[in-house]
A and B are shown apart, each in its own frame.
Chain A
Amino acid sequence: MSTMTLYVDRKSLIHDAFAPLTKLLYVMVSIAITYIYPDLLFVLSVAIFSGVVLLVGKVFRKILPILALSILLIISIIIVQGFFHPENQTELFSLGFLTFYKEGLSYAVLLTLRVMNMVMSFGILILTTKHDEFVEALIKRGLSPKIGYVLLSVLQLIPQMRATMGKITDAQKSRGMETEGSLIVRVKAFFPLIGPVVLNSLNNTRERAIALEVRGFNTRIKKTFLNVSRTYHYQGLIQFILWMALIATIVWRILS
Chain B
Amino acid sequence: MEEKKDKFLAPENEVRQVSAPDGSIIEVDPLKDYFSQEKPEPYKVGSGPVENFLNWARAESLWVLGFGTGCGSIEIPPLVTPRFDMYRFGVQMRATPRQSNVFIISGYLAIKTLKRAIRAYEQMPSPKYIVALGSCTINGGMYYDSYNTINRLDQYLPVDAYIAGCMPRPEALLAGFAELKKLIKAGKGHKANEYVENLEWYKTNQKKIIKDWNMPDYNW
Whether A and B are associated in the same complex: the answer reads no
Instruction: Mark B residues whose CB is within 8 Å of A.
Output: none
A binding-site residues for B, Cβ under 8 Å: none
